[in-house]
């Protein structure tokens, strides 16, 4: 067990690291952020900051020496430098990262556990794309296998188009799923294998970016949470995952269709800060430190979490007009279109 007073290392310097560090501080831990970018909204609320490249082995070793446990807030941290960390220092382990970093590996992994993704085909050339469209049908979505997030690295394909030439290689074509709603399953798993789930919100995406998460979800989602949870639990067990794990689903007429997973805390769980007995951030810290998990029950519904993107924060004072809204700003100086700047949660 890693007790309060010890230092938790966090790989990645964004808002998820910031909220993890704030939850850790509440529990009496110090956090040390490791990130390649000089500007880190996580480092601003942490006790220490190492700004170094992921492959800087000396910096990684010094960082590891100073941390009782190391976790990550970003699923595209390269795995190779993490293999040199002292055994058992990283939680969760690298297996979730390896699976989630490649959309193809992720879909195959989930299928092996009985999950159902959208119909898909790996695509490396224009000829393969045309074959995939012929087999799966259009419309569909062409995605980069690696590094895509928030709708980046994705192209809607209306008919038998050619692949974007510059992006050939390392792509995946997915049939467009006709869904009634989208939802996520978020769980925390402790080192002994105990699992707790939060309630599953309905998630609405706009332009590939999460716009809002709402509880309670409509019946179309509520009816599909049980099978989705079974799959999420199986994924957590297969990975021997410790900490928070998220799976995203489409609720369809034929049951839940797996979209993607993240071996970490998730935007669609931000409502848990005010809306659940224990937040996803606090339970992630508890899990990786070997403390008992906190209760995950929802405190009150209806509840909505809305993301604040780019210009939504241009007038910060306006965000405080609703006295019942819980405002979270991530402290990002640079307002860019579609950039996640904060979120607002409203209960009741």
The site for ligand AMP (CB under 6 A) is made up of 118, 141, 151, 174, 176-177, 182, 205, 208, 248, 259-260
Minimum Å distance from CB 155 to ligand AMP? 11
Question: Is the CB of 55 or the CB of 156 nearer to ligand AMP?
Answer: 156
Residue 224 CB, shortest distance to ligand AMP, in Å, is 15
Two tokens at 155? 């192209």
Nearer to ligand AMP, 121 or 195 (CB): 121
Q: Which is nearer to ligand AMP, 180 or 319 (CB)?
A: 180
Cα distances from 42 to residues 37, 222, 279, 330, in angstroms, run 11, 34, 18, 9
SS3 label, residue 138: coil
The CA distance from 93 to 88, in Å, is 8
Q: Which is nearer to ligand AMP, 25 or 177 (CB)?
A: 177
- Considering the complex, what minimum distance in angstroms separates the CB of residue 347 from ligand AMP? 24
Shortest Cβ distance from residue 248 to ligand AMP (Å)? 6
Shortest separation between residue 257's beta carbon and ligand AMP, angstroms:
8
Residues across the chain: 348
**Nearest residue (CB) to ligand AMP, 268 versus 278:** 268
Nearer to ligand AMP, 122 or 208 (CB): 208
Pick the closest to residue 316 from 289, 342, 338 (CA basis).
Answer: 342
**Nearest CA among 170, 176, 181, 144 for reference residue 158:** 176
Indicate the Cα dihedral angle 152, 156, 162, 166, nearest 10°: -10
Phi and psi torsions of 230, nearest 5°? -60, -45
State the nearest-atom distance from the C-beta of 141 to ligand AMP, in Å.
Answer: 5
- Beta carbon of residue 103, minimum distance to ligand AMP (angstroms, whole number): 7
The helix/strand/coil state of 42 is coil
d(CA 173, CA 124): 10
Is 81 or 208 the residue whose CB approaches ligand AMP more closely? 208
SS (H, E, C) 175-243: ECCCCCEEEEEEEEECCCCCEEECCCCEEEEECCEEEEEEECCCHHHHCCHHHHHHHHHHHHHHHCCCE
Rounded to whole angstroms, the Cα distance separating 86 from 31 reads 18
């Amino acid at each position: 067990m890693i007790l309060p007073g010890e230092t938790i290392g966090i790989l990645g310097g964004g808002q998820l690291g910031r909220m993890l560090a704030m939850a850790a501080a509440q529990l009496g831990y110090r956090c040390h952020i490791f990130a390649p970018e000089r500007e880190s909204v996580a480092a601003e609320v942490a006790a220490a900051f190492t700004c170094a490249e992921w492959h800087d082995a000396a910096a990684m070793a010094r960082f590891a020496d100073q941390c009782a446990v190391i976790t990550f807030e970003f699923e595209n941290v390269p795995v190779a430098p993490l293999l040199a960390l002292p055994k058992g220092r990283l939680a969760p382990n690298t297996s979730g990262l390896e699976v989630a970093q490649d959309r193809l590996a992720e879909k195959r992994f989930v299928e092996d556990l009985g999950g159902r993704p959208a119909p898909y085909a790996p695509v490396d050339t224009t000829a393969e794309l045309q074959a995939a469209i012929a087999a799966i049908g259009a419309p569909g979505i062409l995605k980069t296998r690696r590094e895509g997030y928030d709708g980046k690295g994705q192209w809607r394909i209306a008919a038998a188009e050619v692949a974007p030439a510059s992006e050939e290689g390392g792509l995946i074509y997915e049939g467009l799923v006709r869904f009634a709603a989208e939802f996520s399953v978020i769980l925390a798993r402790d080192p002994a294998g105990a699992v707790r789930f939060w309630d599953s919100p309905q998630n609405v995406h706009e332009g590939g970016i999460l716009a809002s998460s709402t509880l309670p979800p409509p019946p179309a989602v509520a009816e599909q949470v049980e099978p989705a949870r079974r799959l999420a639990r199986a994924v957590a067990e297969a990975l021997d995952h410790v900490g928070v794990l998220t799976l995203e689903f489409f609720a369809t007429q034929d049951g839940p269709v797996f979209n993607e997973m993240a071996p970490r805390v998730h935007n669609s769980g931000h409502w848990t800060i005010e809306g659940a007995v224990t937040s996803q951030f606090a339970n992630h810290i508890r899990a990786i430190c070997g403390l008992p998990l906190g209760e995950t029950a929802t405190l009150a519904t209806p509840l909505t979490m809305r993301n604040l993107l780019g210009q939504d924060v241009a007038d910060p004072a306006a965000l405080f007009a609703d006295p019942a809204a819980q405002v979270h700003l991530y402290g990002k100086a640079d307002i860019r279109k579609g950039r996640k700047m904060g979120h607002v949660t409203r209960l009741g």
